[in-house]
């Protein structure tokens, strides 16, 4: 979604704001802006497009206090008029989130004579704070009173020309943290924006307000009660958010997968058995008592859940349902207090997944587990159990290493549940653990296919549609391949369980329709081969990702790339990698913006 940076320091902070926005640009990138305390009035620079354009436009702006924003449009089209910061009188505001009662506020403030110049919900916050400042001169108090009138999700930062050197920030539902240092104090949507100035981070809780000056920070709750929040020293390495030798973050993140998997699996160490404690202190007891699992997630995270369903039912013997979070939260469902509710999210701040988790809890389902890549996120904090994947920061909008590390974590969960249910003997457990341990090496070998995949990608550049096929636990991998291709190359792609083809989609197949098949050497391979023949018989061009030892051969219209080895239950983790590489290289050939595809944002903190 949108990204916020704010800084109060003893030198010019404009370069810090711009650099911070560059790090947050993955969150939203249709327009950007900064506002600083000027010599006589707020100085604001806004531009449509990327932060690089804002950097040029703000080159001559200087101030020790300011706020900045990169936007992903929700209310109002991307244009300069709708870009943040929004100004009312002497104050300027940036905002991430959605104000649900903005229409009522807009009507009320218009009646008071405020003139709205944008279509955004944020502008109502600016006018609301300005109206409160007429009776209450202290900015901190005015923002606190304003927040009490806001319904929805927000992280905001506010400055007032009449109170230079001061920034007031607040959060409810959208992420915001503080960076503290001797030479200045800062706020941002995530730590990557502030590593340039400090490693000392303070995570604000929902309902917190903070005042930042160069000399210090004070935090209260919305009712004014002072609170202390601990300072965490961020372990995030600056290199983790740099591109290094790669051309795009997506490419970097695809190639980081062996390391990300090794880090995520570190807790199994040299052990031959799974300890449920890796999911939280109460996990052992809880997992033994569950009779069902419900997985809630969106997008790529939902695909990892769909893959895990095959593992959980076949290995652990526990019934499992996977629901798209935005559907579950509004559906009348039958609650089961004994089921484990698993919320999967890379960011931990996806609004639909968070709301679905809360909905599940409101139905009395308190056995919850967050599977997440961001330890301090809302989804983690609101779940009873947790597993943090160690993928490192994922910047590319198209999720890659978050997906494979989620799969690894879900396989660990499968083993922990299977063990709790006494469905796993010591020998099976040791074999699975050994396979997990070997995964990073196996993934490395699959990455060696990149050159061949690059050649294939050339043939997709002029295509408008593509079909992905898979069966069994590789059907969700086909879904993920199709999502990756449409997300970054804008080619319409759909995925089907291969057996379903003849029930309709086969009508689409002709020489212009590439059909990509995930074809591991598993128990369904022979069935899949028949489905591929159905495609070939209609003139469809097949691109098959097979395993080294399978008997699929190249022939006219059937192109085959082989993964080095068949990997049994864990094969989906290997088979998704060529699909990630394919979509990456097709996007390169098409010249799209790989890391920031049109209309999308990295974490979707609105409904
Ligand atoms: C994947 O490439 C997407 N960008 C998207 O589907 C993403 O997985 C989804 O929005 C869920 O995000 P989360 O994992 O942060 O909750």
Q: Where are the domains of the chain?
A: 3-241, 249-446, 450-590
Catalytic residue among 22, 252, 484, 602: 602
Q: Which residues line ligand 1 (CB under 6 A)?
A: 298-301, 345-347, 350, 353, 397-399, 487, 603-604
pLDDT in tens, 513-550: 999 999 999 888 888 888 888 888 888 899 999 998 78
Percent of the chain with pLDDT over 90: 80
How far is ligand 1, taken at its centre, from the CA of residue 405, in Å? Answer: 14
Residue with token string 């920061």: 393
Cα(607)–Cα(207) distance, integer angstroms: 20
Return the CATH number of the domain spanning residue range 450-590. 3.40.50.10490
| 3-241 and 249-446, same CATH topology | no
Res. 240 pLDDT band, cuts 50 70 90: confident
Q: Which of 174, 297, 300 for a ligand 1 pocket mutation test, highest count of atoms within 8 Å of Cβ? A: 300
Partners of 541 in beta bridges: 514
Query: CA nearest 305: which of 342, 253, 350, 346?
Result: 342
**pLDDT(28) > 80:** no
- Give, as one character, the DSSP assignment of residue 408: H
Percent of the chain with pLDDT over 70: 100
Residue 602 is a catalytic residue? yes
Q: Which of 399, 477, 493 for a ligand 1 pocket mutation test, highest count of atoms within 8 Å of Cβ? A: 399
Average of pLDDT values for 282-295? 96
Average of pLDDT values for 347-369? 96
Among 54-68, 182-196, 592-606, which stretch is predicted with the lowest mean pLDDT? 592-606
Residue closest by Cα to atom 9 of ligand 1: 299
Among 134-143, 372-381, 574-583, which stretch is predicted with the lowest mean pLDDT? 372-381
Domain 3-241 top-level CATH class: alpha beta
Return the CATH number of the domain spanning residue range 249-446. 3.40.50.10490
pLDDT value at residue 50: 87
From the CA of 298, give the closest atom in ligand 1: 11
Do 85 and 92 form a contact (C-beta atoms < 8 A)? yes
Average of pLDDT values for 326-351? 96
From the CA of 400, give the closest atom in ligand 1: 2
Which tops the pLDDT comparison, 172 or 69?
69
How far is ligand 1, taken at its centre, from the CA of residue 326, in Å? Answer: 13
pLDDT value at residue 529: 85
**pLDDT(77) > 90:** no
Cα(448)–Cα(435) distance, integer angstroms: 20
**pLDDT(239) > 80:** no
Residue 22 is a catalytic residue? no
How far is ligand 1, taken at its centre, from the CA of residue 303, in Å? Answer: 10
Catalytic residue among 2, 147, 298, 372: 2
pLDDT value at residue 457: 96
pLDDT in tens, 136-148: 999 999 999 999 9
| b/e sequence 253-289, b meaning 16+ C-beta within 10 Å | bbbbbbbbbbbbbeebeeeeebebebbbeebbebbee
**pLDDT(606) > 80:** no
**pLDDT(553) > 90:** no
H helical segments located in 424-554: 426-447, 450-458, 475-489, 525-537
Give Cβ neighbours of residue 161 (< 8 Å, ≥ 6 apart).
Answer: 37, 38, 41, 42, 90, 91
Query: CA nearest 334: which of 360, 297, 308?
Result: 360
pLDDT value at residue 604: 81
Strands 65-71, 91-99: parallel, antiparallel or unpaired by DSSP? unpaired
């Amino acid at each position: 979604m949108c990204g916020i940076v704010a800084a109060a320091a003893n030198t010019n902070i404009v370069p810090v704001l711009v650099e911070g926005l560059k790090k947050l640009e993955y969150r939203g990138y249709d327009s950007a802006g900064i506002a600083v305390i000027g010599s006589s009035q707020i100085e604001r620079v806004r531009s449509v497009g990327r932060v690089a354009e804002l950097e040029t436009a703000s080159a001559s702006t200087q101030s020790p206090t300011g706020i900045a924003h990169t936007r992903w449009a929700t209310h109002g089209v991307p244009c300069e008029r709708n870009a943040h910061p929004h100004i009312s009188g002497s104050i300027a505001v940036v905002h991430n989130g959605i104000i649900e009662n903005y229409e009522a506020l807009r009507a009320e403030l218009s009646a008071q004579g405020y003139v709205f110049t944008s279509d955004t919900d944020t502008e109502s916050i600016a006018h609301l704070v300005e109206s409160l400042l007429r009776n209450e001169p202290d900015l901190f108090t005015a923002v606190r009173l304003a927040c009490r009138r806001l319904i929805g999700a927000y992280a905001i930062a506010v400055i007032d020309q009449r109170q230079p050197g001061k920034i007031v920030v607040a959060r409810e539902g959208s992420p915001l943290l503080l960076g503290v240092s001797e030479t200045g104090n800062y706020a941002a949507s995530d730590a990557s924006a502030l590593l340039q100035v400090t490693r000392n981070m303070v995570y604000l809780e929902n309902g917190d307000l903070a005042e930042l000056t160069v000399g210090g920070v004070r935090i209260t709750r919305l009712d004014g009660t002072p609170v202390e929040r601990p300072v965490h020293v961020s372990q995030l390495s600056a290199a983790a958010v740099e591109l290094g030798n790669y051309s795009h973050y997506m490419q970097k993140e695809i190639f980081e997968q062996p390391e990300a998997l090794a880090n995520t699996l570190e807790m199994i160490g040299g052990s031959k058995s799974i300890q449920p404690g890796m999911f939280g202190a109460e996990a052992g007891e809880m997992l033994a008592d569950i009779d069902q699992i419900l997985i809630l997630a969106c997008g790529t995270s939902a695909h990892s859940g769909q893959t895990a369903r095959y593992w959980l039912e076949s290995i652990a013997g526990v019934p499992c349902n996977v629901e798209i979070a935005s559907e579950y939260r509004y559906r009348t469902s039958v609650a089961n207090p004994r089921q484990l509710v698993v919320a999967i999210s890379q960011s931990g701040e996806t609004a639909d997944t968070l709301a679905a988790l809360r909905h599940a809890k409101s139905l009395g389902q308190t056995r919850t587990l967050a599977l997440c890549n961001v330890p301090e996120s809302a989804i983690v904090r609101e779940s009873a159990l947790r597993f943090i994947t160690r993928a490192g920061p994922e910047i590319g909008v198209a999720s890659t290493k978050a997906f494979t590390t989620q799969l690894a974590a879900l396989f660990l969960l499968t083993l922990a549940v299977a063990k709790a249910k006494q469905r796993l003997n010591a020998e099976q457990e040791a074999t699975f653990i050994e396979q997990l341990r070997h995964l990073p090496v196996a993934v490395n070998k699959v990455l060696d296919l990149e050159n061949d995949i690059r050649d294939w990608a050339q043939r997709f550049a002029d295509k408008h549609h593509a079909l992905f096929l898979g069966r069994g636990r590789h059907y969700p991998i086909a879904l993920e391949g199709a999502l990756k291709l449409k997300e970054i190359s804008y080619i319409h792609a759909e995925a089907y369980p291969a057996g379903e083809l003849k029930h309709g989609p086969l009508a689409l197949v002709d020489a212009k329709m590439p059909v990509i098949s995930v074809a591991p050497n598993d128990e369904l391979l022979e069935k899949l081969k028949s489905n591929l023949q159905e495609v070939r018989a209609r003139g469809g061009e097949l691109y098959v990702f097979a395993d080294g030892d399978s008997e699929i051969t190249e022939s006219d219209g059937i192109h085959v790339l082989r993964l080095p080895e068949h990997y049994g239950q864990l094969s989906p983790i290997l088979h998704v990698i060529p699909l990630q590489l394919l979509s990456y290289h097709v996007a390169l050939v098409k010249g799209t913006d790989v890391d920031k595809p049109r209309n999308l944002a990295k974490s979707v903190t609105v409904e």
